[in-house]
Structure 1
């Protein structure tokens, strides 16, 4: 058999309780007697498009006596794993009924648990496989590491890493890529980099995993430098879709417009399709760099826009003061029959807050219930910010008191910011006292209160607050500047001597300073 008729659709009849199994092939009807061997069943399993169809064929496999065939069983387990979490129970029953299991069928079920959960079952199954006398292979460990990464369980993952080294698979590219991704997910980016550096032959997945890990853990400058290194490494090949998707968020955070321009140009020149994943990244990048019109052009080019793409464009309009355009876009979003989520409502509330549209903000906040969207602390904090910016401090306090859940640091942080705008010191002290408990290591909260005291001439109170910061050794994030030179992103602070070209930089600055002095004297 080389193909199925009627657009390749497998058609199964359950007449007489599966006694007559029928499917259509090349315009002819075939019945159960034509299914003579395991190849027929595996061939048909590959073409099953739904869980119901798979169950029907599963029944015929049992009737035909092929449920113990290793090829058919492995394909059947794999097919159930492709569907949803609820199918894992059936896949496990098929697995448990097998009298003889090879490593392939073990890997199939481990993969299912790693993808769908419960993730701990993947590890339990691995240890049962080892007890049965079977050895894991290069495909087993990436599934296990994926499960450990999903659980953010660094200790279990380190044990798996130990087994990888013990069985001599630590130099395997497939396994090493999984180790890079695992350590990045567990926020141990240094070890992730060490695994990456030990690889002699890296592929695109190796680079993508570490770039994504750097970005996810906030090391956006390192992510961009690694991206440049990848471009210079001719042995790896050109960046793919995944490379650009994981690099664009770093461009957004670092406002690296030149890198973003290069990526956009590369997409156009290579003919790569701008889907929602790429488009959303480009829109966010252009939004952070103030290029609203270009962001809009990118949005228009996206063929299948999902809620993420719409949210990115609404956020772009809102952050630059185009609240009316953001609201109009939300109306278009609803006209397309799409369902909003919490992120899109947060973007709308933020737009209203920056534009001072209090009534519209209240309306949108109440609409969340109509769409069944749960309100979280970010939404409440945005409403406090909306009311506070507009000068409705009393209403903001009442709103906090009426919250169904205990207000968190974001809510009180928004209230403190509003007090700073409108110079309400008494309420700022109350908000700050809450924040000292909820967010004690955030130096920015103390600085706001200290500056308010200084503006009011209350120098002793300001000194007291700054003393608390010193005594508790709370460090304020150091301000820095950044610049791109020859597509390389450099970051530096005041009197920073960490750059390898420090001597040349300061020498150039001194020469420029002398030139300026000479011009001023003349």
Structure 2
């Protein structure tokens, strides 16, 4: 009787706290044989990834290992699939290997899930090993495993092996066809992919989505839209693909039109639009959508926090992060969330948050991925904590342009030209291409260190990497020359700019003129600043100070009187450099 009641409860939707209560009854009444059902149900009804749920299920599994191997294999498979479904692909492979090393035979869904994970992480070595295990255990005759092999080799670019695995399937289903279609699309053989699409006996939504997505990725929204209109049945993913295509083409009005027409929006729909507004700098539009959402999951919060952090609104990002933590115990920040939050603190110059993040990550079992580590490096470098930054940098699994640029930028801000130059040389030797941010950091380092010749050489080398200096790079060069007293060179450089110099560049020359009490270039710079800015009071005040420094009291008085007549007020603490 009790067994039936417990089975009844296990068939219901279980959240973590309910699962713990039911589990307690299982243990007290010695119904441990039902633990596999508990794990399956708890994972099945956990729609969003939860580290707490994963850790809890794994603790139960450690007890199942000494129970029947069949139940243990099924439960391990459920947990492997849970990680794969929530895109924790590296963890999926690690958990599968842990299961295998424990002597537990894999289930078909465990192998299918881990093959998908190997494909997503481009892990050919483990993929081949798991293929061999599938052969050894006799699971290669399972259509799901065979389809998983097609998917693995397709994603890794071994299209001939994928085609062979496809041909070996005696009863091909639509998923098998879709895996081969995906393989040809990934290999860039669009003509063959279109042929496979046309041959699929029974196309499903995934078949249509794959081919529409391929057109959208190429920016061919005309064909993508035509196929979308021809679809017999559209899913939310179909709408999201089309919307995402318009977002990537910077066609936000068309994206919004289809978004508004979408019958049932999901989290991805909202996130796609918020991310599009983030890239286009339309923060208010992103906020409008965020306010319209009735249910906000972690990914939606992540998108909006990133929007604030990437558009110079760090305080808003931190305020929303605080609201996220208070909103629900089921919504927990992960490495993606924390990367944006660290970026916000970095903009505010508050390095104390770094220690909190490192403690939080360790306490909650969150993996330190390269994105989060790079964000922490940027935080520590900007705050002058070089030891922590270099320590984290040395532990990076894969150093790329972003991580090197964060280090070089930090060196630049703090005037560490030697360290910045060493990092740049190391970067080039490893054939990692620098970007505009890299050169901003390097030039800043030379400027703060007074290394004019090195700065010139660096500035001129940008063309070697097919990079065109921006107004910011010219501004740094003007600052460097101005600090060295080479004001005429700075002025000539401004005149040679391929784009119109902004008030920031002219303001830099004005500041340097004040530093060296040079009236001639001070007047030139100030005149341009007045033409470019609606409120030039700060620039006029700076010019008045230059007049005063050389004893031209009447000119200084006239400038200040003109400021009063126009009712201009100096903005205290204003910086234009």
Q: TM-score, normalised by structure 1?
A: 0.71
- Once the two structures are TM-superposed, the CA of residue 48 in structure 1 deviates from its matched residue by 1.6
Match of 2:483 among 376, 384, 389: 389
**CA–CA distance in 2 between the matches of 1:150 and 1:466?**
49
The C-alpha deviation readout for 1:256-297, integer Å capped at 9, x for no partner, is 344343223223434544443222211222233333333333
The C-alpha deviation readout for 1:5-33, integer Å capped at 9, x for no partner, is 986459xxxxxxxxxxxx999899xxxxx
In 2 relative to 1, CA 406–227 (structure 1 residues): closer, same or farther, beyond 3 Å?
closer
Partner of residue 214, structure 2? 112
Partner of residue 500, structure 1? none
In 2 relative to 1, CA 64–43 (structure 1 residues): closer, same or farther, beyond 3 Å?
closer
Partner of residue 290, structure 2? 196
Partner secondary structure for residue 147 of structure 1: helix
**CA–CA distance in 1 between the matches of 2:302 and 2:437?**
26
In 2 relative to 1, CA 262–113 (structure 1 residues): closer, same or farther, beyond 3 Å?
farther
Q: Given the alignment of the two structures, is residue 138 of structure 1 paired with residue 243 of structure 2, yes or no?
A: no
Are the equivalent residues in 2 in contact too, given 1:223–1:247 (CA < 8 A)? yes
Match of 2:342 among 226, 231, 248: 248
Partner of residue 178, structure 1? 272
Q: Given the alignment of the two structures, is residue 408 of structure 1 paired with residue 483 of structure 2, yes or no?
A: no
Q: Given the alignment of the two structures, is residue 150 of structure 1 paired with residue 248 of structure 2, yes or no?
A: yes
Higher RCO (C-alpha 8 Å, min separation 6): 1
Partner of residue 489, structure 1? none
Are the equivalent residues in 1 in contact too, given 2:462–2:468 (CA < 8 A)? yes
**CA–CA distance in 2 between the matches of 1:197 and 1:402?**
47
The C-alpha deviation readout for 1:101-130, integer Å capped at 9, x for no partner, is 44322222333344x331635xx5245433
Are the equivalent residues in 1 in contact too, given 2:302–2:337 (CA < 8 A)? yes
In 2 relative to 1, CA 227–24 (structure 1 residues): closer, same or farther, beyond 3 Å?
closer
In 2 relative to 1, CA 184–379 (structure 1 residues): closer, same or farther, beyond 3 Å?
closer
Aligned residues: 444
Are the equivalent residues in 2 in contact too, given 1:423–1:452 (CA < 8 A)? no
Match of 1:125 among 206, 216, 224: 224
Partner of residue 404, structure 2? 310
Partner of residue 330, structure 2? 236
Partner of residue 75, structure 1? 179
Are the equivalent residues in 1 in contact too, given 2:411–2:417 (CA < 8 A)? yes
Are the equivalent residues in 1 in contact too, given 2:523–2:543 (CA < 8 A)? no
Partner of residue 260, structure 2? 162
Aligned alpha-carbon RMSD (Å): 4.2
Uncovered stretches (5+) of structure 1, i.e. residues with no partner: 11-22, 29-34, 480-522
**CA–CA distance in 2 between the matches of 1:340 and 1:162?**
40
**CA–CA distance in 2 between the matches of 1:310 and 1:129?**
42
Are the equivalent residues in 1 in contact too, given 2:153–2:161 (CA < 8 A)? no
Are the equivalent residues in 2 in contact too, given 1:388–1:419 (CA < 8 A)? yes
Partner of residue 492, structure 2? 398
In 2 relative to 1, CA 195–372 (structure 1 residues): closer, same or farther, beyond 3 Å?
closer
**CA–CA distance in 2 between the matches of 1:428 and 1:152?**
41
Partner of residue 445, structure 2? 351
The C-alpha deviation readout for 1:396-417, integer Å capped at 9, x for no partner, is 23334455x2453254443333
Partner secondary structure for residue 318 of structure 2: helix
The C-alpha deviation readout for 1:183-210, integer Å capped at 9, x for no partner, is 4444443453454345444321121011
**CA–CA distance in 1 between the matches of 2:329 and 2:142?**
45
Q: TM-score, normalised by structure 2?
A: 0.65
Task: Give matches, 1:60-99, under 5 Å.
Answer: 70-82=174-186, 86-87=188-189, 91-92=193-194, 94-95=196-197
The C-alpha deviation readout for 1:229-269, integer Å capped at 9, x for no partner, is 22223333321111011111111112234434322322343
**CA–CA distance in 2 between the matches of 1:415 and 1:93?**
62
Task: Give matches, 1:279-428, under 5 Å.
Answer: 279-336=373-430, 338-370=432-464, 373-403=467-497, 405-409=498-502, 411-428=505-522
Are the equivalent residues in 1 in contact too, given 2:208–2:231 (CA < 8 A)? no
- Once the two structures are TM-superposed, the CA of residue 57 in structure 1 deviates from its matched residue by 5.2
Partner secondary structure for residue 48 of structure 1: helix
The C-alpha deviation readout for 1:417-452, integer Å capped at 9, x for no partner, is 322332333323333444556x445x4x55223321
**CA–CA distance in 2 between the matches of 1:467 and 1:95?**
74
**CA–CA distance in 2 between the matches of 1:40 and 1:257?**
48
- Once the two structures are TM-superposed, the CA of residue 462 in structure 1 deviates from its matched residue by 4.2
